[in-house]
Chains A and B, each alone.
Chain A
Amino acid sequence: MFRVLLRIALLSLRRRLSRSLLVIAMIAMSLWGLLFMEGLYDGMTEQVIDNAIRSDSGDLSLFAREYRLDPGLERLLAEPAEIGRFLDEDSRVRSHVSRLRQDGLIATAHYSRNAVIYGVDLGAEDRHGRLASYLDAGAYDFGDKGRGALLGARLATKMKVTVGQKIVVSAQNSANDVSALSLRVVGILKTNNMALDENAVFIEMNKARELLMVPEGVSQLSVLLYNKEKVAAVQQGLRVRFPELDVLGWDELYPALRQGREMMEIFNLITSLLVFCVAGLGIFGVMLVSVLERLREFGIMLAIGTTFREIRTMVFVESFILGFSGYGGGVLLGGLTLLYFYNFGLDLTMFSAGLDAFGMDAITYALIRPSYFFTALAAVSVATLVSVLLPLRILKKARPIEAINKI
């Protein structure tokens, strides 16, 4: 019986082919737009978060108690090797890296600015967060004598410093005296992490120890995991093992980025709701007219023994054919579009100054998440189902058998 109903439904849709195609096109276009928008906006948000995680926070960071509130050399992680050993034994941990950090001043022969000095191990940083991939100019190497420095891109622009130029960094050391170090700029890093690009001067770890008179200890230990879903569990484990330390997730270190992600989720949800409500209205209009113009047809079917349940199934089948065809078209169009932007990205270089102000990459790569397609399927199903409920109610009340006698 279902095959007969399916055939009748298909024939009905074919009879009003242009109208059916319009509804399918409407659903397909709305899905296409939504998928593109969701994938692109999520791509933007996640890229910014990824930059922050890779270049600074990791999935988790360990600090001495209250270092974040009052950063200074008197609050260091005294035993980074012990923490390192503990992390090495954890199979969920992909990598970890230590940094020494101090606020200071950077100066050229003509100009000076406040800066944050980071003592780092470049090899470890590259293995950890692929820091070398952010190199914008020069080389990713402090040189044989370790007298090179890598500068954040915006700091270099503001200082008007280029690769090869000399700089002097000065900062307060652990003896509360101001000490200075002359270095040569070997490279410029553009991480799109605004805090780093604006202020960071990366220098060799041993040079930083000399400058700051800190023979041991580090300010921060950044940890990356294989699986982001394990962050809470690893964080809890570290808190139990090292209760004297602050173990903070990336979202605690960058609350603005977490807020941005949450806002984007709400924004996408509202837009999707709006679009599917309107699309549902379109399906409703077509199904209502489709039911009303066939009252006599349904009356005859009822008169020859078709049950109302079978007619209802037929109407549902019609609307789901429309809905799922539109879904198929939208998924195909949207999926292909996302695939293109996933591979090649959306090049917004012409707005790079504006994107820099928001800490965004000039080329945005779209994300493709299975949830986009499942959510869209659920939304199309609900919109399709809800949009035929009223026409069916009207059909039931209209007493189709009486309609046979009407002209």
Chain B
Amino acid sequence: MMFVHFAMKNIRAYRNRSLVTLLLTTLTTALLVFATAFMDGSHQKMLQNAVEIYPGYVQVTHQDFRDQPSLDNMIFDAKAVRQVLATTPGIAAFAARFESFVLFAGAEKAVGGMLTGIEPTAEEKLSRLASSLVSGAYLADHDGNQLYMGYELARRLKVKVGDELSFVGTGADYSFAADNLLVKGLFKTGLFEFDASAAFVSKGYFDQVMAAANYASHFIVLPANPSGADLLAAELNGRLDQQYLAESWRTTMAGLVQAMLVDSIFGYLTLAVIFIVIFFVILIYTWLTVFARMREIGVLRAVGTMPGQILQMLVTESVLLAMASVVLGGLIGGALAYYFHLHPIYFSFSEEQFKQYGLAASSMPTAFAPLVILRDMAVMFVLAVGSTLYPIIKANRVSPMEAIHHV
């Protein structure tokens, strides 16, 4: 307690130095807390968008489909998979899809694209297809040859809602499949590539025209708790026949997950450069203060104060300052993180870049995670105290006589 008392007095006595240290550590802590919240928040948002627009949290496919995505590796008993999914707890919704690549031909143009049979009502809960409607109408389960297509694909084919176009493709039985389609609605997800190549019909119609009854290229599953997608995938792998494989978005979108990791690494690299300078400055200021008190330290040593006690006194000062700073910095950074969590930051200037990388997100909320904030504060506390140790230990090693005569 005595050391705390001395430390408080010394902090007050060297007000300017204390203020600079307090300010620097506070700013650094706030910067780290906010930068982490921003990086985590933007990555979560990008991944969430990428997952929710179309691919979904959990996919069930034939086990060889990822390595060999051929018509031989489809799900040929969709009913059996459906039964397992219907009886597995923790699933909020699921639906079958059948993806196929075809050549679309309008009156003037022909363009290759993805034609997928979906279950429109179930799909509404699983992806953002329905909510991305920009003109016309979304599909209904009983629809026939009605097409719901990407806005950019429609633009490339020069068709609009109500127009007719045809497609040529391969049926599930390798037969030649072709039909005329009527454009029912257009969607715009913001993912340029997707909007320029994807089109959907109801699965009932698709099964007829592509000879795909009871077939599916994959099932899409929405967990009741999306953060538990990995657990649900593992649970499904235990319940499904061995020829099927359930994978969470972390596996199906491994490239994007790793991209976010790389982005975080470079973000922390930049922060590290800034922090090195800041902690050098704290070290220098501690050095200046400690050596300015060299004679005082010498006198204390001369009257019998043990080096350990002086060390304790100086370290207590540094701990108190660091503690006050990280709490203040944590509060500032946390408040900013909370504010921008509720009011996401809008990056209109980088919209093109986001589009190119298929991230479809120009407004980024920060992540507000109290545990992560506490972790960052603890890291900063250790660094702040650590950067003051060298001058404190060095000053404590000087002999009392040398210290008294220090100029």
> A residues bordering B, Cβ < 8 Å?
18-19, 22-23, 25-26, 29-30, 33-34, 36-37, 41, 70-72, 103-115, 158-160, 170-172, 176, 178, 194, 198, 255-256, 259-260, 262-263, 267, 271, 274-275, 278-279, 281-282, 285-286, 289, 293, 348, 351, 353-359
Contact = CB atoms under 8 A, between A and B. Distances in A.
Nearest to B265: A351
Contacts of B273: 30, 33-34, 36-37, 271, 275
B382 interface: no
Task: Name the 6 nearest CB pairs between A and B, nearest first.
Answer: A110-B70, A354-B258, A114-B112, A172-B110, A33-B273, A105-B112
Nearest to A180: B103
24 contacts: A18-B394, A33-B272, A33-B277, A34-B273, A71-B156, A72-B108, A103-B111, A103-B112, A104-B110, A107-B170, A109-B70, A110-B71, A159-B69, A172-B103, A172-B105, A178-B105, A256-B353, A256-B355, A262-B349, A271-B273, A271-B274, A281-B20, A281-B281, A289-B288
Interface string B86-113: 0000000000000011110100111111
Contact of A176 (B102, B108, B260, B287): B108
A114 B101 contact: yes
Interface in B242-281: 254-262, 265-266, 269-270, 272-274, 276-278, 280-281
B277 A358 contact: no
A37 B267 CA distance: 11
A34 B284 CA distance: 20
Given A263-B350, A358-B357, A178 B110 contact: yes
A172 B67 CA distance: 30
A167 to B, nearest CB: 13
Contacts of B254: 353
A34 B273 CA distance: 7
Given A19-B291, A271-B274, A278-B274, 7 more contacts: A111-B70, A194-B357, A259-B349, A274-B274, A293-B292, A358-B262, A359-B357
A368 B280 CA distance: 26
Contacts of B193: 198
A321 to B, nearest CB: 16
B259 A259 contact: no
Contacts of A172: 103, 105, 109-111
B114 A114 contact: yes
A351 B111 contact: no
A358 B169 CA distance: 32
Interface residues of B, number: 63
In terms of DSSP, what is the predominant structure of the interface of chain A? helix
B37 interface: no
B288 A112 contact: no
A2 B70 CA distance: 83
A34 B353 CA distance: 25
A275 B24 CA distance: 12
A7 B318 CA distance: 37
Given A72-B109, A115-B112, A348-B262, A259 B350 contact: yes
B103 A37 contact: no
Contact of A356 (B24, B168, B255): B255
B277 A26 contact: yes
Interface in B345-371: 349-350, 352-353, 355-357
A357 B258 contact: yes
Contact of A160 (B69, B168, B265): B69
A105 B356 CA distance: 22
Nearest to B291: A19
Interface string B331-352: 0000000000000000001101
B156 A103 contact: yes
B287 A105 contact: no
B215 interface: no
Contacts of A105: 101-103, 112
A285 B254 CA distance: 49
Nearest to B111: A103
Nearest to B153: A114
Contacts of A72: 108-109
